[in-house]
Amino acid sequence: MQTASSVRPQHDKPLTVTVEETLEFAHACSGAELSKTEEQQFVLGFDEDNKAAVAAARALRKT
């Protein structure tokens, strides 16, 4: 059993992360490809429009 006297205080500073770094990390974690579920959301337009929308969404994911 530890007592309070044997626990070292933490003097570590939290790491700071920029917004850009956060977005890059989120993008890397979420994957650069659209899931089938996401692709199935593009169904309300004409076939050509839906295909163009999926292509645009894929392009945005890769950037």
Stated pTM of the model = 0.49
Residues 6+ apart with CB under 8 A from 63: none
Q: How many helices (H) and strands (E) does the chain have?
A: 3, 0
pLDDT in tens, 5-55: 666 666 677 778 899 998 888 877 877 678 888 888 999 999 999 999 999
Residues 6+ apart with CB under 8 A from 5: none
**Exposure string (b/e) for 33-49, b if CB count within 10 Å is 16 or more?**
ebeeeeeeebeeeeeee
